[in-house]
Chain A
Amino acid sequence: MKKVAYLLFAVLIPVVLILTGCNPSPEVPGEEVSSCVICHSDKDMLQQAASAEVEQVSEETSGEG
Chain B
Amino acid sequence: MEVWEKVFLDDADFLQDTHGKVGCVICHGGDSSLEDKELAHVGINADPSDISCDTCHSDVAHVNALSLHTTLEGFKTALETRGCDFDEYPEMNEVFENHCDSCHTSCGQCHVSRPDETGGGFLSSHEFRETPSTQYNCIACHGSRVGAEYLGENEGIPADVHWTQETMTCTDCHGEELHGSTQDASTRYDNPNAVKCEDCHEDVWTNTEGNPQHEQHLSDLQCQVCHSVSYKNCYGCHVSIDEEGIPCRISEASQMDFEIGYNPIRSSERPYKYVVLRHVPTCSDTFDYYGSNLISNFDTLSTWKYATPHNIQLHTPQNESCEACHGNSDIFLTEEDIRADELEANQGVIVEEIPSP
Which residues from chain A sit less than 8 Å from chain B, CB to CB?
33-37, 39-41, 43, 46-47, 49-53, 55-65
Contacts and interface: CB of A to CB of B under 8 A. Distances in A.
Given A36-B30, A63-B237, A65-B144, 8 more contacts: A35-B40, A37-B12, A37-B15, A52-B3, A58-B246, A63-B234, A63-B249, A63-B253
Please list the 3 inter-chain residue pairs (A to B) with the smallest Cβ-Cβ separation, ordered nearest first. A63-B251, A58-B248, A46-B4
A43 B10 CA distance: 8
A42 to B, nearest CB: 9
Contact of A61 (B15, B34, B250, B254): B250
Nearest to B102: A56
Contacts of A64: 144-145, 232, 234, 251, 254, 281
A7 B198 CA distance: 76
Contacts of A56: 246
18 contacts: A35-B40, A37-B12, A46-B7, A46-B8, A52-B3, A55-B246, A58-B248, A59-B242, A60-B248, A62-B249, A63-B234, A63-B237, A63-B281, A64-B281, A65-B144, A65-B234, A65-B237, A65-B249
A63 B283 CA distance: 14
B247 interface: yes
B246 A57 contact: yes
Q: Say what secondary structure dominates the interface of chain B.
A: loop
Contacts of B3: 50-53
Contacts of B40: 35-36
| Residue of B10, B144, B248, B281 with most partner-chain A CB within 10 A | B248
Interface size class of B (residues with CB under 8 A): 35 or more
A62 B251 contact: yes
A51 B33 CA distance: 22
B212 to A, nearest CB: 39
B223 to A, nearest CB: 25
Contacts of B2: 47, 50
Contacts, number: 86
Given A35-B33, A63-B249, A58 B242 contact: yes
Given A57-B246, A58-B247, A63-B251, A40 B8 contact: yes
A33 B237 CA distance: 50
A65 B251 CA distance: 7
B35 interface: yes
Given A58-B247, A60-B242, A35 B281 contact: no
A41 B14 CA distance: 12
B57 to A, nearest CB: 22
Nearest to A48: B4
B9 interface: yes
A37 to B, nearest CB: 6
B34 A58 contact: no
Contact of B252 (A41, A50, A57, A63): A63
Given A50-B2, A51-B3, A63-B254, A39 B8 contact: no
Interface in B224-260: 232, 234, 236-237, 242, 244, 246-254
Contacts of A41: 8-10, 12
B197 interface: no
Interface in B4-44: 4, 7-10, 12, 15, 23-25, 28, 30, 32-35, 37, 40
A56 B119 CA distance: 9
Contacts of B248: 58, 60-61
A43 B5 CA distance: 8
A39 B247 contact: no
A55 B34 CA distance: 30
Contacts of A36: 24-25, 28, 30, 32, 40
A39 B39 CA distance: 14
